[in-house]
Amino acid sequence: MKTAIASALLGAVVLVAGCAGYSASGPSAEARLKPTQGNKTSGFVHFQQKGDRVTVRASIEGLTPGVHGFHIHEKGDCSAPDGTSAGGHFNPGGKHHGAPASADHHGGDFGNLTADANGRASLTLVVANGEITLDRDAANSIIGKGVIVHADPDDYKTQPTGNAGKRVACGVITRN
C-alpha cells in the first residue's frame, strides 16, 4: 500500500515537471507555408500562447540568402498566385508599420528572417502584452489569418508595408 501511494505521488511530480519543461500549457496554433508561383520557399510556423504572451517559432527554407520580411497578413487566403489575396498587414490596433521592438507597429509585424547560405532561416519571437492572441473570438486573434514571407527586407519605415517586396511564401494560421 505504501509503495502504491509513493508511486502515484512520484507520477504526479514527473507530470508537473514535464509540463513546466516544455511549457506546453495554453493554446497553440500553426501555419504551413507554401511557395507562391515561381518560388521555392516553404516552411512551418508554430505559435504557443501562455497568458498574454505568444511565442512564435518559424523554420523556413528555400529562401535566397539574406534578409526577408516576415508578417501576419489580415486574410488567411493564399489563393492568388502571387499571394496578394492575403491582404495587408494584420493591424488590429490601428498602428503604423514598424519594427516589432518599436512602440508603434502592426500586430502582424514580425520583422525579418535572415536566411543562411543554404537558404534556411529560423526565428523565435515573443509577442507580449496581449498584442495578438490565439483566442478565436478576440478582435486581435491571429487564427485564420495569413503568414507571408517576402523577397526583400522589411525596412521598418515604409508605410504601410515596410517595402518588403514580393510574397514568396504564404500560409494560413490554424488552431491546434
**Any idea which residues carry the catalytic annotation?**
71, 73, 89, 97, 106, 109, 150, 167
Decide whether 29 or 86 has the Cβ nearer to Cu ion: 86
Considering CB distances under 5 to 8 angstroms, the limit depending on partner class, which of Cu ion, Zn ion, none binds residue 109? Answer: Zn ion
Residues 99-138 binding Zn ion (CB under 5 A) are 106, 109
Q: Is 89 in the site for Zn ion (CB under 5 A)?
A: yes
Provide the strand spans (E) within 15-164.
28-35, 42-50, 53-61, 66-73, 109-115, 121-127, 146-150
Q: Is 97 in the site for Zn ion (CB under 5 A)?
A: yes
Q: Work out how close the CB of 112 gets to Zn ion at its nearest, in angstroms, rounded to a whole number.
A: 12
Q: Is 167 in the site for Zn ion (CB under 5 A)?
A: no
Task: Look at strands 146-150 and 121-127 and give their pairing.
Answer: unpaired
Decide whether 23 or 102 has the Cβ nearer to Cu ion: 102
**Quick check: bond before 160 cis, omega within 30?**
yes
Q: Which residues bind Cu ion (CB under 5 A)?
A: 71, 148
**Quick check: bond before 27 cis, omega within 30?**
no
Decide whether 61 or 154 has the Cβ nearer to Zn ion: 154
Residue carrying the nine cell digits 523577397: 151
Residue carrying the nine cell digits 493554446: 27
Q: Work out how close the CB of 164 gets to Cu ion at its nearest, in angstroms, rounded to a whole number.
A: 6
Q: If 0-12 CB within 10 Å is exposed, 13-18 middle and 19+ buried, where does residue 90 land?
A: buried
Note the residues at the interface with Zn ion (CB under 5 A): 89, 97, 106, 109
